């Protein structure tokens, strides 16, 4: 296909596709899907080989958020049944991080719900970073704390934070439809503050909120323009108790096309599969590794993810390898920012997250990322005995066609509980 040959050539040259070419990727048919994956895979392997970076989320403060992000399980007034707790102590957060690092994670994404940190919150996070790095000198730390005020990014950088996650989530033209308590411009401003302070910028999107192909292309081109080192791609988890609970718009094939489009537009940055991969990609998750070079390990902020052991087996079975602390994530020409030659990568994710994670693994709810105004962490799975848990399970009978509410499981282990984390 001429389109794919053109996109591969441009990706190898770090040249952006045209907007029409990006839209054409999203418009390809299921019959063409493997060709699309193969083409985008060439670009991914050129810049990142077969390495997969593992990121681990630590939810420092869950729920209790004053923001109204429609996708987020931690939004103001949401009745989603998630864990709610205030700030973890530094040692508690360090112990949670250690579980992820023992499971193979290279980056820890520290996420806290809320509009943005106070100066006291920056002190708390600084103490937490110190505790983590005292035990794990080589770990990368990404913070995802919401909207930043003047000077806060510099303080985080001075405390040893390597990256900052804050997702754009959707296009500027539709942002006001999902959030009223802050603006798209607020988010852009925070990403720029992080960049200016020398932090590696992590910023991504949430797909599946009812957006158009044009919206998806718009936000990805905006992320390219912001020069984010890491782009977490979250797939909406429609939590019961949120305004988007009935938005089940994604198929595994659609998710793969979205990831391919992101790779073509952002060929040499860390593309991370963040919240929702288990729910929407399902058995096609291994194919997505040919497009993205980064994932979250284990659970997300407010939802349960695939078992950490299963993540590692999936990577190995698909012919990929876990990136080590000795390996630098980003290509040489992109190094020297906040992470320099040591980390050169994304951010929460979450840092997506919220970070991401989850629906929003980063910034206000995504890394993977991750959190920020209205953070949320969604990626899900049934309990070990196969029975679904969480608010989504009860609504399975009224689910829209194609909805897999049986896979949505609220996190009940790890930080904020007495149970061991999943890593």
Query: Residue range 87-109: average pLDDT?
Result: 96
Please tell me which residue in 44, 51, 65, 124 is annotated as part of the active site: 65
pLDDT tens digits along 378-390: 333 333 333 333 3
pLDDT tens digits along 9-21: 999 999 999 999 9
**Is 266 known as a binding-site position?**
no
Task: Verify whether residue 351 is a known catalytic residue.
Answer: no
> Is residue 359 predicted with pLDDT exceeding 70?
no
Please tell me which residue in 142, 266, 339, 351 is annotated as part of the active site: 142
Per-residue pLDDT, 381: 35
DSSP codes, 39-85? HHHHHHHHHHTTEEEEEEEEEEEBS------TT-TTSTT-------B
Distance CA 219, CA 139 (A): 30
Distance CA 252, CA 77 (A): 31
Please tell me which residue in 44, 115, 187, 202 is annotated as part of the active site: 202
Q: What tokens does 202 get?
A: 């992590």
Q: What tokens does 217 get?
A: 């292309």
> Is residue 43 predicted with pLDDT exceeding 70?
yes
**Region of poorest pLDDT, from 10-14, 289-293, 332-336:** 332-336
**Is 255 known as a binding-site position?**
no
**Mean pLDDT value across the chain:** 87
Q: At 64, is the pLDDT very low, low, confident or very high (cuts 50, 70, 90)? A: confident
pLDDT tens digits along 156-189: 999 999 999 999 999 999 999 999 999 999 999 9
Minimal CA–CA distance to 248: which of 368, 386, 166, 359? 359
Task: Verify whether residue 411 is a known catalytic residue.
Answer: no
Q: What tokens does 271 get?
A: 């593309």
Task: Verify whether residue 339 is a known catalytic residue.
Answer: no
Q: Which residue has the higher pLDDT, 399 or 349?
A: 399
Distance CA 355, CA 375 (A): 9
Distance CA 118, CA 151 (A): 11
Per-residue pLDDT, 253: 98
Task: Verify whether residue 69 is a known catalytic residue.
Answer: yes
**Region of poorest pLDDT, from 18-22, 336-340, 358-362:** 358-362
Per-residue pLDDT, 336: 65
Task: Verify whether residue 343 is a known catalytic residue.
Answer: no
Per-residue pLDDT, 112: 96
Minimal CA–CA distance to 97: which of 108, 83, 86? 108
Domains, the chain, in order of start with CATH, read 2-407 (3.20.20.70)
Task: Verify whether residue 272 is a known catalytic residue.
Answer: yes
Q: Is the pTM of this model over 0.95?
A: no
Please tell me which residue in 44, 69, 266, 381 is annotated as part of the active site: 69
Please tell me which residue in 51, 107, 109, 257 is annotated as part of the active site: 109
- CA-based end-to-end distance of the chain: 41
**Is 144 known as a binding-site position?**
no
**Is 343 known as a binding-site position?**
no
CB atoms within 10 A of CB 312: 16
Classify strands 270-273 and 230-235 as parallel, antiparallel or unpaired: parallel
Q: Which residue has the higher pLDDT, 202 or 397?
A: 202
Per-residue pLDDT, 79: 87
> Is residue 4 predicted with pLDDT exceeding 60?
yes
- Any residues with CB less than 8 A from the CB of 1 and at least 6 apart, and which? 32, 35, 39
> Is residue 360 predicted with pLDDT exceeding 50?
no
> Is residue 368 predicted with pLDDT exceeding 90?
no
**Region of poorest pLDDT, from 219-223, 241-245, 273-277, 336-340:** 336-340
**Is 109 known as a binding-site position?**
yes
**Is 142 known as a binding-site position?**
yes
> Is residue 342 predicted with pLDDT exceeding 90?
no
Report the percent of the chain where pLDDT is more than 90.
78
**Is 339 known as a binding-site position?**
no
Task: Verify whether residue 202 is a known catalytic residue.
Answer: yes
Query: Residue range 148-152: average pLDDT?
Result: 98
């Amino acid at each position: 296909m001429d389109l794919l040959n053109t996109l591969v050539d441009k990706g190898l040259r770090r040249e952006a596709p045209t907007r029409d070419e990006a839209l054409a990727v999203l418009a390809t048919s299921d019959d063409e899907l493997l060709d699309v994956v193969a083409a985008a895979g060439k670009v991914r392997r050129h810049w990142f080989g077969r390495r997969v970076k593992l990121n681990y989320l630590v939810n420092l403060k869950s729920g209790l958020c004053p923001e109204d992000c429609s996708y987020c399980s931690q939004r103001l007034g949401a009745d989603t049944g998630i864990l709610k707790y205030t700030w973890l102590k530094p040692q508690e957060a360090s112990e949670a991080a250690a579980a992820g690092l023992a499971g193979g994670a290279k980056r820890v994404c520290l996420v806290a719900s809320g509009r943005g940190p106070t100066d006291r919150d920056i002190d708390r996070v600084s103490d937490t970073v110190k505790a983590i790095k005292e035990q794990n000198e080589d770990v990368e730390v990404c913070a995802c704390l919401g909207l930043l005020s003047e000077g806060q990014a510099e303080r985080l950088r001075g405390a040893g934070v390597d990256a900052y996650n804050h997702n754009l989530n959707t296009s500027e033209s539709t942002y006001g439809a999902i959030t009223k308590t802050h603006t798209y411009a607020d988010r852009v401003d925070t990403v720029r503050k992080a960049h200016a302070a020398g932090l590696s910028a992590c910023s991504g999107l949430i797909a599946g909120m009812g957006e158009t192909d044009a919206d998806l292309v718009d936000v990805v081109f905006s992320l390219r323009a912001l020069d984010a080192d890491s782009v977490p791609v979250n797939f909406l988890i429609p939590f019961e108790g949120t305004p988007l609970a009935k938005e089940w718009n994604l198929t595994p094939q659609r998710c793969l096309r979205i990831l391919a489009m992101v790779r073509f537009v952002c060929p040499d940055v860390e593309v991370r599969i963040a919240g929702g991969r288990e729910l929407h990609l399902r058995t096609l998750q291994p194919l997505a590794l040919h497009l993205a070079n980064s994932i979250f390990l284990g659970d997300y902020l407010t939802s349960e993810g695939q078992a950490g052991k299963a993540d590692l087996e999936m990577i190995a079975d698909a012919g990929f390898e876990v990136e080590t602390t000795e390996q630098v994530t980003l290509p040489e020409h992109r190094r020297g920012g906040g992470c320099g030659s040591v980390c050169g990568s994304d951010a929460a994710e979450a840092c997506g997250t919220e970070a991401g994670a989850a629906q929003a693994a980063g910034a206000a709810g995504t890394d993977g990322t991750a959190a920020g105004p209205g953070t949320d962490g969604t990626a899900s799975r049934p309990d070990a005995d196969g029975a679904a848990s969480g608010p989504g399970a009860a609504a399975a009978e009224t689910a829209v066609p194609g909805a897999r509410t049986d896979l949505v499981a609220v996190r009940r282990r790890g930080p904020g509980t007495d149970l061991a984390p999943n890593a």
